[in-house]
Chains A and B, each alone.
Chain A
Amino acid sequence: MIRTVLRTEHVTMQFGGVIAVNDLNIVVKEHEIIALIGPNGAGKTTAFNDITGVYTPTKGRVIYSPAEGKEIDITGRKPSEIAQLGIARTFQNIRLFKDLSVYENVLIAKHLHLESNFLAATFRLPGYKKEEEAMRADVERLLKEVNLWDVRNEKASSLPYGKQRYLEIVRALATEPKLLLLDEPAAGMNPKETAELTEFIRQIRDRFNLTIFMIEHHMDLVMEISDRIYVLDFGTTIATGDPAAIQNNERVIKAYLGEDEDA
């Protein structure tokens, strides 16, 4: 019986008169790669924000299970708490620490698991020094994975766009998550880059024992690696199923009619 890592129960997000997300019920099981697709403005990022604590859902609950037998209601909790519990994310518009170096961006993501308090850190007590060494070793490993080690001292904003997306993913990985939320990781990539990213996502899922939940518009990526897909339109779930089922679903096709499979 595969464990459910994340589920949302009737999550609704209302802004004034606008219902951005309507009665969302998704289930993400361990090690799955789940995709959330839908036309622009369908409420996908809002759903992410509901899950990661940026917004508090108007209605409904978000339940997270970090381990067998444990279930935590993370509805409306602070994003930092949710990250500490093991859920990490990237952002649609890339939110790197622009003025900081590539290295620092990833190193900062290790801070959340630091045991030493600020006094121990200030006085460089042995416990802290050991932790810092371990953090730095991890960062080196991660950066070498994605060929960013050589540019580690460059400002994050100076990287080419595609590399910035990888950096953001690697930064999220540095928090040692169990569940990784990717918001349009392939945005702005050409087909070759998208193919590489697809392989990358598969690899990190296997290597880091992750469960992945992503928003995407690139259908090649979505259809290639998703175990299951949820389709949103105007905040409502209009279809769910495996890639084959979704591809042939009439409602989905209609919702996308006129929508470009963008590059």
Chain B
Amino acid sequence: MELFQAITNMTAVSFAQHMVNGISLGSLYALIAIGYTMVYGILLMINFAHADIVMMACYFALFGITTFHIPWYLTFILTIAATALLGVIIERSAYRPLRDAPKNSVLISAIGASFLLENLANYLFSGRPLHFPDIPFLSSMIDLNGIQVQAICLFIPVVTLACLFLLLHIVNHTKTGMAMRAVSKDYEIARVMGVNIDNIISITFAIGSALAAIGAIMWGIRYPGITPYLGVMPGLKCFIAAVVGGIGNIKGAVIGGFILGLGEILIVAFFPQFSGYRDAFAFIMLLLILFYKPTGLLGEKMTEKV
């Protein structure tokens, strides 16, 4: 212990503090990364708008509680539903029409959708940061043996893992899940075998968006400054997390999320002189993984038929 303290100039308590922060952040990244990886696994496209769906969910929750005075637990449920719906709407209007178009078009459409959501939020809610409402108990600080922890931090990893297990159950043990796996393995064959591709894709987006909403709510409690661009950086990092874990692989996305979240917090904790560069950590991870294991930690090699 003393050796650790001597080397890193950090006490056990503050290390524990950083670990809590890192695990919380990692969990949030994991939840959002799942949405990216699921969509990429099925459609081979980056849903650029996913990050902005997180942002919209924050606003939904915020307005539900502060403007419409709906009790917070109800608001959260409504937010998840509304966000899932938003995800499906985006898929239907921006991605489905371009399914047979060249790859670049879908990419541009995704960028356009992202851009539109950001500008829409800016227009509707103004660019001024709004404060996410304080939730009784969850937003409060509690003291654990000298570590100051926001109550929500105890729930975040639990909720994330619960969502993960639920999702894995759906994917591995239900008919819908089997259809999802089939579509991501081979789109054409799945369609020929009678899988309703449109429905499966919509379900995928709905699930991914719902998880994003759960992440967004916890994010809002954790980091209450809500702006139209809050999703941008985390969105990039979460996609990178999905790539690090192995794009298309749900467990990989979670692992990637934790690596990126913990890494970001700990690097700044141990090397505070680099704190301005904390966002660069994710991109460095991206480069490393692309260089040494491009298919990601849990990914499989795909060969293109010539």
B306 adjacent to A45 (CB under 8 Å)? yes
With an 8 A cutoff between CB atoms, is A240 at the interface? Answer: no
Taking CB atoms, residues of chain B closer than 8 Å to A123 are: none
Complex-state Cα separation, A91 to B305, whole angstroms: 12
With an 8 A cutoff between CB atoms, is B303 at the interface? Answer: yes
Q: Which of A158-183 contact B (CB under 8 A)?
A: none
Taking CB atoms, residues of chain B closer than 8 Å to A25 are: none
Taking CB atoms, residues of chain A closer than 8 Å to B306 are: 45, 49, 54, 91
* Minimum C-beta distance from A20 to chain B (A): 10
Taking CB atoms, residues of chain A closer than 8 Å to B303 are: 15, 55
Complex-state Cα separation, A55 to B301, whole angstroms: 13
Closest to B300 in A: A16
Taking CB atoms, residues of chain B closer than 8 Å to A15 are: 303
Closest to A52 in B: B306
Q: Which of B193-207 contact A (CB under 8 A)?
A: none
Q: Which of B40-60 contact A (CB under 8 A)?
A: none
Complex-state Cα separation, A49 to B305, whole angstroms: 10
Q: Which of A1-23 contact B (CB under 8 A)?
A: 15
Taking CB atoms, residues of chain B closer than 8 Å to A55 are: 303
* Minimum C-beta distance from A216 to chain B (A): 18
Taking CB atoms, residues of chain B closer than 8 Å to A45 are: 306
* Minimum C-beta distance from A42 to chain B (A): 15
* Minimum C-beta distance from A17 to chain B (A): 12
Complex-state Cα separation, A8 to B253, whole angstroms: 42
Query: Hey, what's the 0/1 contact readout for B278-306 against A, CB within 8 Å counting as 1?
Result: 00000000000000000000000001001
Closest to B304 in A: A54
Q: Which of A80-134 contact B (CB under 8 A)?
A: 91
Closest to A54 in B: B306
Closest to A183 in B: B306
Query: Hey, what's the 0/1 contact readout for A21-63 against B, CB within 8 Å counting as 1?
Result: 0000000000000000000000001000100001100000000
Closest to A49 in B: B306
Closest to B301 in A: A16
* Minimum C-beta distance from A171 to chain B (A): 17
* Minimum C-beta distance from A18 to chain B (A): 11
* Minimum C-beta distance from A243 to chain B (A): 28
Complex-state Cα separation, A54 to B305, whole angstroms: 10
Complex-state Cα separation, A54 to B306, whole angstroms: 8
Interchain residue pairs with CB less than 8 A apart (6):
A15-B303, A45-B306, A49-B306, A54-B306, A55-B303, A91-B306
Which 6 interchain pairs have the tightest Cβ spacing? A54-B306, A49-B306, A15-B303, A45-B306, A91-B306, A55-B303
